[in-house]
Structure 1
Amino acid sequence: MISEQDQTLLSLLRTNARMSISDLARALGVSRSTVQNRISRLEQTGVINGYVLEYGNQYLSEQVAAHVSIKVKQKLTTKTNVELKQLSQITALYAISGEHDLIAIVQAQSLEQLSKILDDIGNLDGVERTNSSVILETKFKR
């Protein structure tokens, strides 16, 4: 279990992972060494696994994104997951319950590229069917 102070630190880092140790210390009302120790401990215990690139709004506004629900032949699930991971336009893949087995988050530079990626997904060995929903607008993201 992590402390309330750790939760606040994680929230600050989620908002801006490049925030300086000094700024984090000021926001938390603690010393720089305390912040460094907390971050090290959160990394060592696996609470913080890494830091990622977040695209800017200008770049994202030029992208087309979709949620793709995928029904997979059960005996080919592992093979299909490996093949889906090879498609660089798939930014996340989730196993889900319900009618479909997976949801892929797909990002493309145009509707034409999205259409091609959807065809590529549908043509993979093991994919029975797909259902796509194009994302029109992001209301918020955490």
Structure 2
Amino acid sequence: MAADGLDEIDYGILHLLQQNARSTTPVDMAEQLPVTDTTIRNRIDRLEEEGVIEGYVPIVNYEKAGFPIRLQFSCTAPTKKRHQVAGQALELPHVVKVDEMLSARENVQVLAVAKTTEEVNEITAGLDDLPLTIERESLLREERRRPFGHFGQHVVDD
């Protein structure tokens, strides 16, 4: 096992789950990894128990779901309250993601979605009520993602 407790099979499982967790079964993974589907199920259970896999969530296209306005707020919270304020921001209506940054300024990044300018005003007012300062507010045009490519790709038989 590697120093962090994960081996190549674990990384291969993470690689395959990142590519398509919804449609890839342990049986499918066993066809691409040098272990049985039972071993893969046991490994996934262990990765979940250890907190390596924290959950499975869909990637939503908010525009197609009827929320055409996506706003990225770059905010500054007092460093001693950053964690608490980030949690409070995530509880606000329309907020879908909050990143807590290790910096003195712009240390809370908030992504919110809205249908109308009235909802945008509600989001901004909600953030203003928290102990943080909105440094920048940007309209998000497009978000691109990809899986982290260094999880066991070399172990997987394509």
SS at match of 1:43: helix
Please list every run of 5 or more consecutive structure 2 residues that lacks an aligned counterpart in the other structure. 148-158
Q: Which residue of 2 aligns with 1:9?
A: 13
| Pair 1:126 & 2:131 matched | yes
TM-fit CA distance, 1:4? 1.8
Using CA pairs under 8 Å that are at least 6 residues apart, name the structure with larger relative contact order, 1 or 2: 2
Of residues 10-19 and 47-56 in structure 1, the stretch that sits farther from structure 2 once superposed is 47-56
Normalized per residue, the structure richer in helix is: 1
Unaligned runs of 5+ in 1: none
In the alignment, what sits opposite 1:117? 123
Q: CA deviation at 1:139?
A: 3.5
Q: Which residue identity does 1:108 align to in structure 2?
A: A
Match of 2:32 among 27, 40, 48: 27
- Trace 1:35-54 onto structure 2 (pairs within 5 A): 35-54=40-59
CA offset at residue 115 of structure 1? 3.7
What percentage of aligned pairs have identical amino acids? 24
Structure 1, 67-76 or 42-51: larger mean CA deviation: 67-76
Q: Which residue of 1 aligns with 2:111?
A: 105
Q: Supply the RMSD in Å over aligned alpha carbons.
A: 2.8
- Report the structure, 1 or 2, having the larger strand content: 1
Distance (Å, rounded) in 2 between the aligned partners of 1:128 and 1:57: 26
Q: Compute the TM-score of the two structures, normalised by the length of structure 1.
A: 0.77
Q: Which aligned segments of 4 or more residues in structure 1 are displaced greater than 6 angstroms? A: none
**For residues 61 and 33 of structure 2, what CA distance do their matches in structure 1 show?**
27
Deviation at 1:7, TM superposition (A): 1.1
Matched to 1:87, the amino acid is L
Q: TM-score, normalised by structure 2?
A: 0.71
Q: For residue 100 of structure 2, what is the aligned residue in structure 1?
A: 95
Secondary structure of 1:68's counterpart equals strand
Provide the C-alpha distance between the structure 2 equivalents of 1:41 and 1:78, rounded to a whole number of angstroms: 28
